[in-house]
Amino acid sequence: MRLARRGRPGWVGADGRLNAAGRALLFFGAWGYGPAVAHTLLAHTLFAQVSADWVWLQTSLLNLIRLLIILVAGWGIARLIDRRAFADYGWHFSAGWWLDLGFGLLLGAALMALVFAVQWQASWVAVVGVWRSDPHWLGWGVAFLAPLILYLVVAIAEELLTRGNQILNFTEGLLAFGYVPAVLAAWFFSSLIFGLLHVDNPHATWMSTVNLALMGGMFGLAYVLTGELALPIGLHLTWNLVQGNIYGFAVSGKMQFRTTVIAVQEQGPDLWTGGAFGPEAGLLGILATVAGMAAIAGWVRWRYGDLSLRRLRVNQNGGWGQESPAQRQGEDSTRI
């Protein structure tokens, strides 16, 4: 197979842009340090005297500020560094975009309902309360806004980073090996990074890291097959929210808000349930992830008519959507 033209060595590519690794690293830095700096400044100024009863509100405001910073940074880097429209990360708000978002929301909820149902039937979980609010004096509906905001921000921020930015840039950086190998490698590396992002979470194990990389592969599959962030954002949001604040499981080792529809006590084998880390560290989490991948493939095949990898808006050879020589000659298959 003839290789596509390689970029110039160093930090500048053949298209005159910062190379793919540099572009991805730059956004990674802005994504991580931008909100951290803002949070530190606000914690020592505006929020310095917030009482413990209002921490839930403070945290919600900080999460919204985090999202704003990440979106502004993403837009700026897309336009000035990536030299692409911000929408090309996966923000084309058509009717189909919202349809994919709705499917993702339903799928995440269904997968966590399946995890809970299996544990319930196996007597691995006991319900010890219902409609629990955190803080306890706050009405449940208002208290539920805090985890809803948290996981909405997490879903948008992490999908923009590890799917929208990284998969596009990694693909562009690996185009010399052919379009499809580049997409598949970008999908793999972004999923690995997603798993490693959680390696320092409470109660993390090697199994939880592997499982989260696999889960990143599920979100990545939704992205590479649709070219949009709608389905992975919807799936990511309800996977976390339903897991933690409907059924009361830990989410990636954390239980930041204890507002839940039901409160549970887990008593099953850690190998299956994930123990203190939550379902994402157990075999049930793996099975749910595999089922999610199958559902995603089925949905995309039904809605789009195929499982093409060419829906990504990849900048090839310095052009805007131009095909590489290998693609024009049909040397790469676009089906999986």
What would the pLDDT profile of 118-132 be if each residue is shown by its tens digit? 999 999 999 999 999
Residue with tokens 């509100």: 57
Q: For 162-166, what is the mean pLDDT?
A: 97
Q: What is the mean pLDDT of residues 243-253?
A: 96
Rounded to whole angstroms, the Cα distance separating 48 from 30 reads: 24
Residue 222 and residue 231 in contact, taking contact as beta carbons nearer than 8 Å: yes
Per-residue tokens: 38? 């803002």
pTM: 0.90
| Bridge partner residues of 260 (DSSP) | 132
- Tell me which DSSP letter residue 268 carries: S
Rounded-to-integer distance, Cα 225 and Cα 297, Å: 8
Mean pLDDT over residues 12-32, rounded?
Answer: 90
* E strand spans, 71-134: 125-132
Task: Determine what percent of the chain is predicted with pLDDT higher than 70.
Answer: 91
Other Cβ atoms closer than 10 A to 332: 20
Banded model confidence at residue 280, pLDDT cuts 50, 70, 90: very high
pLDDT tens digits, residue range 99-119?
999 999 999 999 999 999 999
Q: How many CB atoms lie within 10 A of CB 12?
A: 13
Neighbours of 242 (CB within 10 A): 23
Decide: 262 and 242 in contact? Cβ < 8 Å: no
